[in-house]
């Protein structure tokens, strides 16, 4: 069975500071891992994904994440926060068969302080 | 390509009424998914279609819920005898096979339909 735990429902950072959003997963099969961003009253936009291959994946808007199998983690980082990064971020996991039936974490709300 | 389109964006209904939502996926995407998101939670999988076939349903999809994708293009999600607990954002997503292994690895989400049951 697949599940995701996002540590910290709220994270606040100063503009220009490092962003680190934590995600740990549980999966009975080799996982596909995703980070999505959601702005108020909007759908979800894919930031990045890990399927196979390189464990450090780069996404849109300067975000990246590293798949660490030994730690069952897929933490999201960005070197320098921008005001426009303020949003809700969701980590998700699916089985080897692809994007079907994504299991989402409960989300982390990122606040950027000017 | 305008992305995944969902209608209506908002729906307020009285308890006990039936509601139907529509989702138009990205053109030629073979898979279509429905998720439900309640306040403060991540989306929860409800069901998905490959073309017109409904391949998987979550236990969350009670017998009051029914989804269809009759021609493998748009989909509808109907909730009968709505309850206050059905109040949520209903998200639709679609995907297609890409990459050398021809797998559905990325789901594109619509903006959702927010249902309020009063």
- pLDDT at residue B32, as a whole number: 94
CB crowding A77-111: b at 16 or more within 10 Å, else e: ebeebeeebbbbbbbbbbbeebbbbbbbbebbbbe
Of all residues in chain B, the one with the smallest CA distance to A97 is B103
Structure tokens at A3: 């599940």
> Is A46 at the interface with chain B, CB within 8 A?
yes
State the count of interchain CB pairs (< 8 A) between A and B: 68
**Distance in angstroms (rounded) separating the CA atoms of residues A47 and A45:** 6
- pLDDT at residue B100, as a whole number: 62
Instruction: Reduce the DSSP state of residue A62 to 3 states and report it.
Output: helix
Give the mean pLDDT per block of 10 residues along chain A (114 residues): 91 97 90 92 89 90 95 97 96 72 93 96
> Is A44 at the interface with chain B, CB within 8 A?
yes
- pLDDT at residue A63, as a whole number: 97
pLDDT tens for the 118 residues of chain B, in order: 579 999 999 999 999 999 999 999 999 899 999 999 998 899 999 999 999 999 888 888 889 999 999 988 999 999 999 999 999 999 999 988 766 666 666 889 999 999 999 9
Burial of B25 (0-12, 13-18, 19+ CB in 10 A): buried
Of B40, B42, B112, the CB nearest to A43: B112
Of all residues in chain B, the one with the smallest CA distance to A31 is B105
Helices (H), B2-97: none
Structure tokens at B29: 């995407």
From A35's Cα to the closest Cα of chain B, the distance in A is: 11
**Distance in angstroms (rounded) separating the CA atoms of residues B23 and B108:** 12
- pLDDT at residue A43, as a whole number: 85
**Distance in angstroms (rounded) separating the CA atoms of residues B33 and B43:** 11
Handedness of CA A47, A48, A49, A50 (dihedral sign): negative
- pLDDT at residue A52, as a whole number: 82
pLDDT in tens, A89-112: 999 998 655 556 889 999 999 999
Most B-contacting residue of A99, A103, A104, A105 (CB-CB within 10 A), to test interface: A99
- pLDDT at residue A31, as a whole number: 85
Query: Cβ(B39)–Cβ(A83) under 8 Å?
Result: no
- pLDDT at residue A87, as a whole number: 96
Contact B107 A46 (CB under 8 A): yes
């Amino acid at each position: 069975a697949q599940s995701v735990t996002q540590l910290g429902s709220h994270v606040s950072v100063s503009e220009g500071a490092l962003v680190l959003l934590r995600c740990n997963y549980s999966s009975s099969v080799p996982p596909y891992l995703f980070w999505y961003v959601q702005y108020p009253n909007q759908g979800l936009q894919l930031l990045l994904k890990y399927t196979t291959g390189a464990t450090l994946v780069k996404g849109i808007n300067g975000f990246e994440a590293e798949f660490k199998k030994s730690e069952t983690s897929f933490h999201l980082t960005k070197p320098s926060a921008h005001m426009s990064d303020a949003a809700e971020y969701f980590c998700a996991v699916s089985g080897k068969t692809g994007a079907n039936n994504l299991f989402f974490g409960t989300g982390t709300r990122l606040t950027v302080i000017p | 390509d305008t992305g995944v389109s969902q209608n209506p964006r908002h729906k307020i209904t009285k308890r006990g009424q039936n509601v139907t939502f529509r989702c138009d996926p990205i053109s030629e995407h073979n898979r279509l998914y429905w998720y439900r998101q309640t306040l403060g939670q991540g989306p929860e999988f409800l069901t998905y279609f490959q073309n017109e076939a409904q391949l998987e349903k979550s236990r969350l999809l009670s017998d009051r819920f029914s989804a269809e994708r009759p021609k493998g293009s748009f989909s509808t999600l109907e909730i009968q005898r709505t309850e206050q607990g059905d109040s949520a954002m209903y998200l639709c997503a679609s995907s297609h096979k890409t990459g050398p292994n021809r797998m559905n690895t990325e789901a594109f989400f619509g903006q959702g339909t927010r249902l309020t049951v009063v």
